[in-house]
Chains A and B, each alone.
Chain A
């Protein structure tokens, strides 16, 4: 399989008051298409910074990042916007569902910003896939936390991205709802989607086929693991 994401000697520093923080320190990383990668590590180890850079949300201080054969460090604002829109799906701990839009409308939200239109039937398919076909016309406040996160996942997939980035996707969920999300991520991985998950959840990290451990902005461990 080819490399979908490449990080080459990536450094990310920022100032916190007078202190210079090295959030990422010389990261080299290759992620192939179809991989399911869990990024773990203690708080402040650089997990989220890594996700932000892989998601083209943040710029590196030095180094080079390539996503889907595009040099992210060379892209302008428009190029970054298009890359995020077409290539990456985002799932966050906070669901960011629009409270006045139905589940179906929330799933279709990204299509307002992209060239892909008339994806209503795909939205219905995705909602069916995440088990919410019957809840398509419900507003977020009529859904449980687990259901809201499933809507968020369906929304992340509407533009058929190559990569799904998830930042603590089960952080706000109870164990039963978290289990449903794990299962869903497994299914998406089986379908060939590249998934990168930042998590504190040992259970979720164990389900990924590859586990990267960060410590003080460096990769302290990177191993392929079998499923339990």
Chain B
């Protein structure tokens, strides 16, 4: 037996109180783990999504990066349109690998849900090299390609017909894009000319997605494109920055909730241990009689809080990992823009940091009760209750 075992056994004396405090620490640690994972996971997912998009910059009519970001990754409409001639001019510029025109429209279904149509040309495939299409690319003007989720929701397979009452048009599914983990999964892709006709925007584009032959010529090409009338260029970095700032307030809110949870659980631990210290003052007094120094008593109490918080930290991290999928889903729904893919990944650094933080909090929480207990005089043992 040693002081650590004695502390552990002391904790077992008040099982309910210990369990409640440990649960408090576990909840706070789970929140901490989730937030830390989210912070690293979100940026990683965003970078992956941007890399997968294959777009180095986007050209659209003058507008703000927010709209461009939304268009690039989330789907959305803007009321201004580029003339299709701009696409041809950009395509002819040196240094351009691909310039793909897009016409984006949304349609509100009867249930009030928006579905997004992407009118795209054949060279759009060059911007999506990772796409795996079950079936074929567009086979004619009335063909449609569905994202995996779109196909699931519409319950359509390759070769099926799909009718949209809002535009009174029917298409044949020529292909289904296998799950990409990005927003593409929920989109409906039409041939560009078809989309322009259906949405009555002949000769118009929402944006041009641009991939460069050589990224080192980035500034040079950007400058050239910006000389075109009514063309505004938004870079991939600007889009990422915009998305990050969009989620910034959500992150701040979550951090504030986390701080409250941490403070409450921290105070809970101090309260629990302090209560047990008050209850055990006479016993500590007796321990002083049989040779315990103030340092021994301090360590007994400190180990108690340490064990409590360590157990809570391990439990909370395990809890955070076990519920990662649920947390991921919740975050995807909560955030104004959420890139595809999981945010909560089991990063050893985040796991270690969460447990370490809980343990460190335990050490700090143990100081006040520990000092109180260490001041117990041997006379406490004989004091009348």
Which residues of A does B touch, CB under 8 Å?
A: 48, 51-52, 55-58, 77-78, 81-82, 84-86, 88-90, 92, 94, 96, 98-101, 105, 108-110, 112-114, 155-156, 159, 167
Q: Residue B1 contacts which of A52, A56, A112 (CB distance < 8 angstroms)?
A: A112
Q: Beta-carbon contacts of B119-158 to A below 8 Å, as 1s and 0s?
A: 0000000000000000000000000000000000000000
Determine whether B52 belongs to the interface, using a CB cutoff of 8 Å to chain A: no
Check A98 against B378 for contact (C-beta < 8 Å): no
Check A90 against B290 for contact (C-beta < 8 Å): yes
Residues of B within 8 A of A57 (CB): 288-289, 377-379, 381-382
A-B contact pairs, 26 of them (CB 8 A): A55-B289, A57-B378, A57-B381, A58-B378, A58-B379, A81-B292, A82-B291, A89-B290, A90-B286, A90-B289, A90-B381, A96-B283, A96-B286, A96-B381, A100-B9, A100-B12, A101-B1, A108-B1, A110-B291, A112-B1, A112-B292, A113-B287, A113-B290, A113-B292, A114-B291, A159-B291
Q: Residue B283 contacts which of A77, A98, A112 (CB distance < 8 angstroms)?
A: A98
Q: A108-B1, A112-B296 are in contact. Are A84 and B290 (CB under 8 A)?
A: yes
Which residues of B does A touch, CB under 8 Å?
A: 1-3, 6, 9-10, 12-13, 282-283, 286-294, 296, 377-379, 381-382
Q: How far is the CA of A56 from the CA of B294 in the complex (A)?
A: 15
Q: Residue B6 contacts which of A82, A89, A98 (CB distance < 8 angstroms)?
A: A98
Closest residue of chain B to A86 (Cβ to Cβ) is B291
Q: Residue B289 contacts which of A78, A84, A86 (CB distance < 8 angstroms)?
A: A84
Q: How far is the CA of A52 from the CA of B293 in the complex (A)?
A: 17
Residues of A within 8 A of B1 (CB): 101, 105, 108, 112
Interface residues of B, dominant DSSP: helix
A217 to nearest B CB, angstroms?
Answer: 17
Q: A78-B293, A112-B3 are in contact. Are A94 and B282 (CB under 8 A)?
A: yes
Q: Which 4 A-B pairs have the closest CB atoms?
A: A85-B291, A100-B9, A57-B378, A113-B291
Q: How far is the CA of A90 from the CA of B290 in the complex (A)?
A: 7
Residues of A within 8 A of B377 (CB): 57
Q: A52-B382, A167-B382 are in contact. Are A92 and B290 (CB under 8 A)?
A: no
Check B283 against A85 for contact (C-beta < 8 Å): no
Q: How far is the CA of A81 from the CA of B292 in the complex (A)?
A: 7
Q: Residue A113 contacts which of B282, B283, B296 (CB distance < 8 angstroms)?
A: B296
Check A110 against B290 for contact (C-beta < 8 Å): yes
A162 to nearest B CB, angstroms?
Answer: 14
Closest residue of chain A to B296 (Cβ to Cβ) is A113
Q: How far is the CA of A113 from the CA of B377 in the complex (A)?
A: 15
Check B12 against A109 for contact (C-beta < 8 Å): no
Residues of A within 8 A of B282 (CB): 94, 96
